[in-house]
Amino acid sequence: MVWVGVGILVVLALAPVWLYNRLIRAKVAVRKAWAQVDTQLQRRHDLIPSLVTTVRGYADHERQVLDEVTRARAQAVSTSGPVAREVAEDHLGVAVRRLIALAERYPDLKADGNFRALQSELSGTEDRIAFARGFANDRVARYRELTDTFPGWLLARPFGMPRGEMFALEHERARQRVDVDLQKDQA
């Protein structure tokens, strides 16, 4: 009977340690997932100046679109935190889609091998960003499950473990259709 009592005390003593370690592993998994999102976003940020330069060579008079992409990229690069970054990245996505749509006005640009390669690379990067966002959100959801349910919240709250922020799939503005008037004078 004594050994059963000792066994129960040992389990009760080790349970918080096991739970704390599980919370820490989940928190580290969230950080690693966000690092992957950051890596893919940096890849996107690195491609955009080349794309803008290529388009500028064919459509320099489209200054407003080129400036919008440049400003949106600068904002996205300087923003931190999942929620603020989501908004900045979605704005950048809209600006880049406008830039790509602009290429429809310029057959020589669409035929340019460098532009096509950059467009293809950007498309692949967007797919990797979507995957990384989904993976990060999955890790955040698992972490939240641990920190918001019993007995995890008993340890998470006292040790100051934040809830974890999701990176929404897309901001509402990014879902809007991009209109490009192909009938507009190209002078």
Residue 101 CA from chain centroid, whole number: 22
pLDDT at 178 over 90: no
For the chain, the domains span 2-175
Express each pLDDT in 106-142 by its tens digit. 888 888 888 989 999 999 999 999 999 999 999 999 9
Per-residue tokens: 55: 């388009």
The pLDDT, as a whole number, for residue 103 is: 80
Residue 187 CA from chain centroid, whole number: 38
The pLDDT, as a whole number, for residue 180 is: 40
Confidence tier at 168 by pLDDT (50, 70, 90): low
Q: Can you tell me the distance from the alpha carbon of 78 to that of 148, in angstroms, rounded to the nearest whole number?
A: 31
CATH dotted code for 2-175: 1.20.1440.20
The model's pTM: 0.75
Nearest one of 94, 56, 51 to 72, comparing CA atoms: 94
Q: Can you tell me the distance from the alpha carbon of 181 to that of 187, in angstroms, rounded to the nearest whole number?
A: 14
Q: Can you tell me the distance from the alpha carbon of 147 to that of 81, in angstroms, rounded to the nearest whole number?
A: 20
pLDDT at 187 over 50: no
